[in-house]
Chain A
Amino acid sequence: EVHLVESGGGLVQPGGSLRLSCAASGFNFRSFAMNWVRQAPGKGPEWISAISAGGDNTYYADSVKGRFTISRDNSRNTLYLQMTNLRVDDAAIYSCAKPLDPYYYGSGFDPWGQGTLVTVSS
């Protein structure tokens, strides 16, 4: 069974940084692109970033481009999201998600992790 477990969330001041991790198991992690998705309170999901299976190609939503960096360590089956210059409107539950198609990150997400909460407040 596929499992995705996020960690690293917490309370941070505006302008601060956090690094999120997503530990993957139950599938051939190194063969799949991966995604980060967030959901702010009372709002729908927002895709924010993706990375190709080998890590060579990365993709970002305009809302986080230049502030967030996605990466992966295939030897540790772990996905990362480095977040810098955090803003109040970045507060959300951040989840990693496995795409249905290993080569296309936007091919539908199954499964999603439970997520880790990021709170941005002074």
Chain B
Amino acid sequence: DMQVTQSPSTLSASVGDRVAITCRGSQSFSGWLAWYQHKPGRAPNLLIYKASTLASGVPSRFSGSRSGTDFTLTISSLQPDDFGTYYCQQYETFGQGTKVEIK
């Protein structure tokens, strides 16, 4: 079975900080890796797809990259509205989530 390992599990940073979240897939990658932001009481919101393509309407401070089987979501300058839990998804498998808190 495919496994996706996401880290860190929690992240606390200040407004303006650059933050990064990583996912490692267990199988070779052939295209589909997505990142989501999830806030309580709301449906998850797609941020990035195909590892590095910004979804429509998503601020440009969000970006995605890949190095081998490691994938990274980067927020270049953390904003107050960026709190929430972030998940990666490779094919039908989700990472464990990263809770982002604003200091």
Q: When A and B form their complex, what is the total count of cross-chain residue pairs whose Cβ atoms lie within 8 Å? A: 53
B43 touches A111 (CB 8 A): yes
B43 touches A45 (CB 8 A): no
Question: Given A104, A109, A115, which contacts B89 in the complex, CB threshold below 8 Å?
Answer: A109
Question: Could you tell me the dominant secondary structure of chain B's interface residues?
Answer: loop
Contact with B along A53-84 (1 / 0, CB 8 A): 00000000110000000000000000000000
Q: Count the A residues whose beta carbon is within 8 Å of the partner chain — how many?
A: 23
A110 touches B94 (CB 8 A): no
Question: Could you tell me the dominant secondary structure of chain A's interface residues?
Answer: loop
Is B11 positioned at the interface, with any CB of A under 8 Å from its CB? no
Question: Measuring CB to CB, which residues of chain B are less than 8 angstroms from any residue of chain A?
Answer: 1, 32, 34, 36, 42-44, 46, 49-50, 55, 85, 87, 89, 91-97
List A84-122 residues whose CB lies under 8 Å from chain B: 95, 100-101, 104-115
Nearest CB in chain A to that of B43: its residue: A112
Is A51 positioned at the interface, with any CB of B under 8 Å from its CB? no
A109 touches B34 (CB 8 A): yes
- Residues on B with beta carbons closer than 8 Å to the beta carbon of A47: 92-94
Least CB distance, B61 to chain A, in whole angstroms: 19
Provide 21 A-B residue pairs closer than 8 Å at the C-beta atoms, listed in order of the A residue. Answer: A44-B85, A44-B87, A44-B96, A44-B97, A45-B87, A45-B89, A45-B94, A47-B92, A47-B94, A50-B92, A61-B92, A100-B34, A100-B46, A100-B49, A104-B32, A106-B91, A107-B49, A109-B46, A110-B46, A114-B42, A115-B43
- Residues on B with beta carbons closer than 8 Å to the beta carbon of A100: 34, 46, 49
Nearest CB in chain B to that of A110: its residue: B46
Bound complex: CA A112 to CA B92 (Å): 14
- Residues on B with beta carbons closer than 8 Å to the beta carbon of A44: 85, 87, 94-97
Q: Which 8 A-B residue pairs are closest in the complex by CB-CB distance?
A: A108-B34, A106-B91, A47-B92, A112-B43, A108-B49, A110-B46, A106-B92, A44-B97
